[in-house]
Amino acid sequence: MKRIKIKELLSSKDFGASVKAEGWVRTKRGNKSINFIALNDGSTINNIQVVVDVANFDENILKDITTGSCVSVIGKLTESQGQGQSVEIQAEKIKLYGTADAETYPLQKKGHTLEFLREIAHLRPRTNTFGAVLRIRHAMAFAIHKYFNDRGFFYLHTPIITGSDCEGAGAMFRVSTLDPKNPPLNEDGAIDYSLDFFGKETSLTVSGQLEGELGAMALGEVYTFGPTFRAENSNTPRHLAEFWMIEPEVAFNDIHDNMDLAEDFLQSLVKYALENCKDDLEFLQKMYDAELIERLKFVVENKFVRLPYTEAIDILMKSEQKFEFPVSWGVDLQSEHERFLVEKHFKKPVILTDYPKDIKAFYMKQNEDGKTVRAMDVLFPRIGEIIGGSQREENYEKLIARIREMHIPEKDIWWYLETRKYGTAPHSGFGLGFERLILFVTGMLNIRDVIPFPRTPKSADF
């Protein structure tokens, strides 16, 4: 007999039919003659109620059906006699796949703190919260591929192992097969990476952008969606050492096209969540964040503010707000400044553009004022920077001048420079932090709770 997913059973009207459901027991309650089992198989946040007439079953099997155990149930699908659910299964056969010793199984029917659940990341997917988060995470990943596919973008697989250390986004993890206890040394005592696996020093990527640009210069519109690694000692609720990033790169787009894309992209994704993850969002709203759905709708329905850096500095300097870090033209904005703009001044998402060139990366297109570059950061309420991007410098002379100014090793990116030498074109792109998007959509507050197995400093279990 074929199993039917609980999501399907709950919306079925096929009363009287014999059905099979399989899943994990959330709770069992009842008395000497009748038991009720709340069964969940992950297909939905909702459980199906299995009604057990105790007289028809071996007492020892029923005793072992505890929270966390796994069972297969065959029975009649019926309209529920009780309140609280419309459909239930009158059990006829129960097979116990796996017990879960009630004395030691760490998940209880009562709520747990998110901190405790992080310590049992191997079991936390079985909770309502993580079930909801992981289903939403999947839906967002799918929506991202769908968004780009619908618009003619190509999914480009950029390398995870990279030989250039000038991707410009922070400290990197080394990739090596050399014996760490006894590495080959060259004449001046340094490690001789010419004898390493790739014949040079290599690391895990911090960004697929540079390769993304190579793809855009051939396919026109591409995006990457892959893991990204940063060896920064960041201990915050917004940073991971291993996270997923989406990086579209589009030939012929200028900074304004880039902003249009970023805004439409984010709004489409949030809209997809509202339309396809209703049950899970309602659960998260009830348990964690009373304004969640309202906030998601607000982002979909309102245009983002677009504001040059220079005007943002003006607003901050004229505001009555006291800041811990003083504001002046040329400084990078602190979290408190970004939060003031997004959460107090405009009360909506803000795209900041045209930052001073000295606080931004070498590849960003230089403006004619000689002072700023065509950068854009999308700032969201609660989570800050969700997207960072720019129009790219396509002029070979300007780009090479900037690279030399910033002492970036040219020999490692000769191939990147050749895109400007042969058939260069204006182009733009950005990076979206996938987990930051999931933070926003789920209303969770710590990024470690929106990825199944988080990697952070001092933490790589599971």
Partner RNA sequence: UCCUCCUUAGCUCAGUUGGUUAGAGCACAUGACUGUUAAUCAUGGGGUCCCAGGUUCAAGUCCUGGAGGGGGAGCCA
Per CB under 7 A, which of residues 193..212 are in contact with RNA?
Answer: 207
Q: Which is nearer to RNA, 174 or 382 (CB)?
A: 382
For the bound state, the minimum distance from the C-beta of residue 279 to RNA, rounded and expressed in Å, comes to 16
Q: Which residue has the tokens 């906030």?
A: 295
For the bound state, the minimum distance from the C-beta of residue 454 to RNA, rounded and expressed in Å, comes to 9
Nearest Cα to Cα of residue 277 among 452, 443, 451: 443
Buried b (16+ CB within 10 A) or exposed e, 348-375: bbbbbbbbbbeebbbbbbbbeeeebbbb
Number of residues that bind RNA (CB under 7 A): 72
Q: Which whole-number Å values give the CA distances from 297 to 6, 78, 269, 290, in the listed order?
A: 29, 37, 11, 13
Q: Strand 305-308 and strand 350-356: pairing?
A: parallel
Query: CB of 263 within 8 A of CB of 255?
Result: no
Should residue 113 be labelled a site residue for RNA when binding is judged by CB under 7 A?
Answer: yes
Distance, in Å, from the CA atom of 333 to the CA atom of 375, rounded to the nearest integer, reads 14
Distance, in Å, from the CA atom of 374 to the CA atom of 389, rounded to the nearest integer, reads 9
Q: Which is nearer to RNA, 2 or 110 (CB)?
A: 110
For the bound state, the minimum distance from the C-beta of residue 267 to RNA, rounded and expressed in Å, comes to 16
Hey, which residues between 218 and 257 contact RNA (CB under 7 A)?
230, 232-241, 243, 245
Non-local CB neighbours of 238 within 8 Å, separated by 6+ positions: 383, 384, 436, 439, 447
3-state secondary structure of 87: strand
Should residue 103 be labelled a site residue for RNA when binding is judged by CB under 7 A?
Answer: yes
Q: Which of these ranges, 2-10, 17-25, 78-86, 314-322, lies near RNA under the rule CB under 7 A?
A: 78-86
Structure tokens given for 5: 């997913």
Among 265, 376, 436, 443, binds RNA (CB under 7 A): 436
Q: Which of these ranges, 5-13, 269-277, 344-352, 432-440, lies near RNA under the rule CB under 7 A?
A: 432-440
For the bound state, the minimum distance from the C-beta of residue 165 to RNA, rounded and expressed in Å, comes to 14
Query: CB of 447 within 8 A of CB of 433?
Result: no
Binding mask of the shown chain, residues 298 to 327, with x at each position contacting RNA by CB under 7 A: ---------------------------x--
Q: Which of these ranges, 9-17, 103-111, 248-256, 413-421, lies near RNA under the rule CB under 7 A?
A: 103-111
Structure tokens given for 280: 């899970």
Should residue 392 be labelled a site residue for RNA when binding is judged by CB under 7 A?
Answer: no
Q: Which of these ranges, 180-188, 332-340, 362-370, 417-425, lies near RNA under the rule CB under 7 A?
A: 332-340
* DSSP track, 243-285: EEEEEEEEET--HHHHHHHHHHHHHHHHHHHHHH-HHHHHHHH
For the bound state, the minimum distance from the C-beta of residue 177 to RNA, rounded and expressed in Å, comes to 26
CA trace torsion 102, 108, 114, 116 (10° rounding): -30
Hey, which residues between 346 and 365 contact RNA (CB under 7 A)?
none
Hey, which residues between 34 and 73 contact RNA (CB under 7 A)?
34, 36, 38, 49, 51, 63, 66-67
Q: Which residue has the tokens 């920077």?
A: 385
Q: Which is nearer to RNA, 52 or 193 (CB)?
A: 52
For the bound state, the minimum distance from the C-beta of residue 341 to RNA, rounded and expressed in Å, comes to 13
Among 11, 30, 86, 149, binds RNA (CB under 7 A): 30
Q: Which is nearer to RNA, 174 or 198 (CB)?
A: 174
Distance, in Å, from the CA atom of 382 to the CA atom of 446, rounded to the nearest integer, reads 11
For the bound state, the minimum distance from the C-beta of residue 225 to RNA, rounded and expressed in Å, comes to 13
